[in-house]
């Protein structure tokens, strides 16, 4: 009986032990299933999941301007192309506001979610949406009231001014909607729905393209038709973005989350400063460049309008390339932010490395295209004189020479913002545009004339890439990135 009692006790203990193990396995499984995929799925798969919709969304945003440029170039010609370039600083202002509250809000949201602060996270989204709307309305009002002096300040030649006024007066109506679409897209992506962000932008772009053809060529409305098509596309895209923001999945948004509070606004703005500063710097560069091209163009065989028209086209083509790079860097943001907040530093490093490698491949491909096919690309935007093509080809080959190198600065800058180090991100975002490019645009033409603007772009790109490499290497020498923890080395 004693042996049987011992055996029964052993069997009972074994059953209890197996039951406890089974319960632990179930709890572990439930924990894994309930965990945020940003912290558990393979980094490569996550980056691909977020990168494709982000890149498409950025491409669509760029196509708003490029499609207009093509239709205007084909119907109006060089002066129409110059007019859209004169108005372009206001477009970059819209994008700056979108990035300030869109990237800032999404970074703050993902960092909070990674740290387990779900209640705080909802306020970052709501505050960001409200501030985007307010700033868009203010920018629209300023543009309407100070339109002509503003365009003259942007460097508009007299023969271009009428076209620029027509185009800007109409497109400014769409500023609030453009900001909500772009900035809201970042918040939707932070919610884990990058495809929704892509669909909002695709819908607006498709409508814009169809209406461009109808208004510009069908109704012969010219530059006004292109502007009206842009606004209608932006309105419809914004309505879709607002609908999906109302139905946010990760947190439940309420009216109280829309009320701006300084502790949330300050955090959002600090994290969004880097990408916003980069866009504002682009605005300043655009104005300085237009004025420089106008001044030195008047003393060359090209005249005032040709350099401005060519520079505008090439900057928009370059934006198309940067759509890939910026989309890639934006896809890095939720992954880096969440895992940095969750102290999964090895996953943070892996995400950066994969984004960096993909950016290098895209940049080399763009470099080859820009160096071998400049005339063919320019021809898409309409015909022009031989001087027009001569200047465009030189500008393409020299100004964009370091295209193969240009992925480093935006990816590294966005990375620092994503991990909650906005000061470093802001500094990096200012290196190319403000610290290097503007001084070089002002100095080099004194010695080599209008071609100095081209060399300014080449030199500033090279220097900005070097600074990005140095800062990146310093960051990844920190001990946290070499401390391996169980479960953090999933590829």
233-274 per-position pLDDT tens digit: 999 999 999 999 988 888 888 888 999 999 999 999 998 887
- Lowest mean pLDDT, pick from 33-37, 132-136, 285-289: 33-37
Q: Nearest 5°: phi and psi at 71?
A: -65, -40
- Lowest mean pLDDT, pick from 49-53, 130-134, 194-198, 423-427: 194-198
Per-residue pLDDT, averaged over 48-73, amounts to: 79
Task: Give the model's pLDDT for residue 81.
Answer: 81
Per-residue pLDDT, averaged over 72-76, amounts to: 81
Cα 472 to Cα 452: distance, rounded to the nearest angstrom: 30
Cα 73 to Cα 167: distance, rounded to the nearest angstrom: 13
Enumerate the H helices of 298-344 as residue ranges: 305-341
Tokens of 181: 């679409």
Task: Give the model's pLDDT for residue 10.
Answer: 55
Instruction: Characterise 418 by phi-psi region: left (phi > 0), alpha (psi -120 to 50), beta (else).
Output: alpha
Per-residue pLDDT, averaged over 320-334, amounts to: 87
Buried b (16+ CB within 10 A) or exposed e, 196-235: bbbbbbbbbbebbbebbeebbeeeebbbbbbbbbbbbbbb
**Above pLDDT 90, what percent of the chain?**
44
pLDDT digits 0-9 by tens, 28-55? 444 443 467 888 889 999 998 888 887 8
Q: Which of 131-135, 180-184, 281-285 has the highest mean pLDDT?
A: 131-135
Enumerate the H helices of 342-407 as residue ranges: 345-372, 374-379, 386-399
- Lowest mean pLDDT, pick from 240-244, 313-317, 372-376: 313-317
Per-residue pLDDT, averaged over 344-349, amounts to: 92
Tell me which residue of 118, 213, 109, 226 sits closest to 163, measured CA to CA. Answer: 226
Cα 255 to Cα 245: distance, rounded to the nearest angstrom: 12
- Lowest mean pLDDT, pick from 25-29, 317-321, 325-329: 25-29
Task: Give the model's pLDDT for residue 2.
Answer: 53
Q: How far is CA 458 from CA 185, 282, 291, 321, in A?
A: 32, 15, 19, 16
Cα 348 to Cα 449: distance, rounded to the nearest angstrom: 46
Rg (CA), the chain: 26
Task: Give the model's pLDDT for residue 7.
Answer: 53
Tokens of 470: 């140095």
Does pLDDT of 317 surpass 60?
Answer: yes
Cα 149 to Cα 93: distance, rounded to the nearest angstrom: 17
Helix (H, G, I), strand (E, B) or coil at 196: helix
Task: Give the model's pLDDT for residue 28.
Answer: 45
Mean pLDDT of the chain: 86
Task: Give the model's pLDDT for residue 251.
Answer: 85
Q: Degrees (nearest 5) of the Cα angle 316, 319, 322? A: 165
Greater confidence, 455 or 414?
A: 455
pTM over 0.75: no
Greater confidence, 38 or 373?
A: 373
Tokens of 332: 């890095």
- Lowest mean pLDDT, pick from 39-48, 192-201, 266-275, 355-364: 192-201
Task: Give the model's pLDDT for residue 38.
Answer: 83
CB atoms within 10 A of CB 82: 32
Does pLDDT of 15 surpass 60?
Answer: no
Greater confidence, 65 or 204?
A: 204
Per-residue pLDDT, averaged over 218-240, amounts to: 93
Q: How far is CA 355 from CA 73, 183, 197, 273, 360, in A?
A: 35, 22, 20, 21, 9
Model confidence at 100, in pLDDT bands (50, 70, 90)? very high
Does pLDDT of 175 surpass 90?
Answer: yes
Greater confidence, 15 or 86?
A: 86
Task: Give the model's pLDDT for residue 437.
Answer: 92
- Lowest mean pLDDT, pick from 3-17, 394-408, 414-428: 3-17
């Amino acid at each position: 009986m004693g042996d049987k009692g011992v055996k029964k006790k052993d069997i009972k203990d074994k059953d209890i032990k197996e039951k406890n193990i089974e319960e632990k396995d179930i709890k572990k499984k439930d924990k894994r299933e309930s965990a945020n995929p940003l912290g558990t799925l393979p980094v490569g798969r996550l980056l691909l999941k977020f990168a494709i919709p982000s890149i498409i969304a950025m491409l669509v945003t760029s196509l708003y301007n490029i499609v207009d440029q093509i239709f205007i170039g084909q119907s109006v010609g060089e002066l129409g192309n110059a007019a859209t370039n004169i108005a372009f600083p206001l477009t970059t202002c819209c994008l700056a506001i979108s990035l300030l509250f869109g990237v800032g809000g999404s970074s703050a949201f993902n960092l909070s979610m990674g740290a387990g602060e779900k209640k705080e996270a909802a306020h970052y989204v709501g505050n960001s949406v409200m501030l985007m709307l307010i700033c868009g309305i203010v920018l629209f009002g300023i543009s309407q009231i100070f339109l002509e002096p503003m365009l003259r300040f942007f460097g508009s030649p007299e023969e271009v001014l009428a076209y620029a006024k027509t185009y800007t007066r109409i497109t400014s109506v769409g500023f609030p909607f453009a900001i909500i679409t772009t900035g809201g897209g970042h918040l939707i992506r932070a919610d884990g729905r990058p495809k929704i962000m892509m669909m909002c932008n695709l819908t607006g772009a498709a409508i814009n393209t169809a209406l461009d053809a109808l208004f510009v060529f069908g109704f012969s409305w010219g530059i006004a038709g292109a502007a009206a098509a842009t606004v209608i596309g932006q309105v419809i895209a914004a309505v879709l973005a607002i609908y999906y923001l109302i139905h946010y999945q990760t947190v439940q948004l309420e009216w109280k989350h829309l009320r701006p509070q300084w502790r949330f606004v300050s955090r959002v703005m600090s994290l969004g400063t880097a990408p916003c500063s980069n866009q504002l710097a682009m605005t300043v560069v655009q104005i300085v460049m237009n004025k420089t091209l106008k001044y030195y163009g008047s003393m060359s065989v090209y005249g005032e309008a040709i350099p401005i028209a060519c520079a505008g086209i090439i900057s928009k083509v370059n934006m198309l390339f940067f759509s890939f790079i910026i989309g890639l860097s934006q896809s890095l943001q939720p992954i880096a932010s969440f895992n940095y907040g969750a102290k999964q530093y090895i996953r943070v490093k892996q995400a950066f490395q994969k984004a960096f490698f993909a950016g290098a491949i895209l940049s080399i491909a763009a470099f080859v295209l820009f160096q071998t096919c400049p005339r063919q690309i320019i021809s898409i935007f309409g015909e022009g004189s031989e001087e027009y093509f001569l200047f465009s080809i030189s500008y393409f080959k020299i100004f964009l020479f370091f295209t193969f190198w240009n992925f480093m600065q935006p990816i590294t800058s966005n990375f620092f913002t994503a991990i909650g180090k906005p000061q470093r991100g802001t500094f990096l975002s200012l290196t190319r545009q403000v610290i290097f490019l503007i001084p070089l645009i002002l100095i080099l033409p004194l010695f080599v004339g209008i071609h100095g603007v081209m060399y300014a772009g080449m030199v500033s790109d090279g220097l900005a890439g070097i600074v990005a490499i140095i800062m990146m290497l310093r960051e990844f020498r920190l001990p946290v990135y070499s401390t391996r923890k169980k479960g953090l080395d999933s590829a």
